[in-house]
C-alpha cells in the first residue's frame, strides 16, 4: 500500500512540473529574459504581447509566419502543442 501511495505522489508531482513549459532552449538565441534580438534578426520577445507571441509561434509552426529565421523557428515551434504555445506566451509576454 505504501508503494502505491508513493507512486501516485511521485506521478502527481511529475505532472505538475510537466505542465510548466520550459523556455530554456529559447535562451540561447533570445536571452535568458528574452531581451535579445535572436541572431541579430528577430523582434525582442519580452516586448511582444502575449497574443503576438502566440500568433508568431503558431505561425512558425504552420509555416505562415517568419522572416530570415523562419526555418529555424519552424523546427523549434513544431515540437510545441497549442497548450505549450499558450503557456509560453503567458510566461513571457506583456
pLDDT in tens, 55-91: 999 999 999 999 888 999 999 999 999 999 999 999 9
Q: Which domain holds residue 43?
A: 2-92
C-alpha cell at 29: 538565441
User: Cα(79)–Cα(82) distance, rounded to whole angstroms?
Assistant: 10
pTM beyond cutoff 0.95: no
Residue 85: CATH number of its domain: 1.10.760
Whether the CB-CB separation of 85 and 59 falls below 8 Å is answered with no
Domain count, the chain: 1
Amino acid at each position: 500500500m505504501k508503494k502505491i501511495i508513493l507512486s501516485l505522489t511521485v506521478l502527481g508531482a511529475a505532472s505538475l512540473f510537466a505542465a510548466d513549459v520550459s523556455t530554456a532552449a529559447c535562451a540561447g538565441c533570445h536571452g535568458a529574459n528574452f531581451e535579445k534580438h535572436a541572431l541579430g534578426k528577430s523582434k525582442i520577445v519580452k516586448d511582444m504581447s502575449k497574443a503576438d507571441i502566440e500568433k508568431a509561434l503558431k505561425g512558425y509552426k504552420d509555416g505562415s509566419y517568419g522572416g530570415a529565421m523562419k526555418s529555424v523557428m519552424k523546427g523549434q515551434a513544431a515540437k510545441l502543442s497549442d497548450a505549450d504555445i499558450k503557456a509560453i506566451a503567458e510566461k513571457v509576454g506583456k
